[in-house]
Amino acid sequence: MPRPAWQKSSFSGGGEGECIELAATATGRVHLRESDRPDDIATSAPHALAGLLLVLKNESWGPSRRR
């Protein structure tokens, strides 16, 4: 099985460490890992990851805020 080609997130901090890395594989899965813990990998379907990112981006996951 080929190794995934990891790509650092453009939102990660500079230098070493504190980086989120992403890789897609031929199976259609998306893999995420923290650069400080490269052996701990979260795997997701692309649509599930897109949904999570949308919720986080819209800040709709936290306590309700009054405006």
Phi, psi of 8 (to 5 degrees): -75, 140
Contact predicate 30/22, CB 8 Å: yes
Render pLDDT for 19-56 as a digit per residue (tens, 0 to 9): 889 999 888 999 999 888 989 999 999 999 899 888 88
Alpha helices (H) along the chain: 46-57
Would you state the pLDDT for residue 32? 92
- Domain residue spans of the chain: 7-57
Helix (H) or strand (E) holding 48: helix 46-57
Instruction: Note if the pTM is more than 0.75.
Output: no
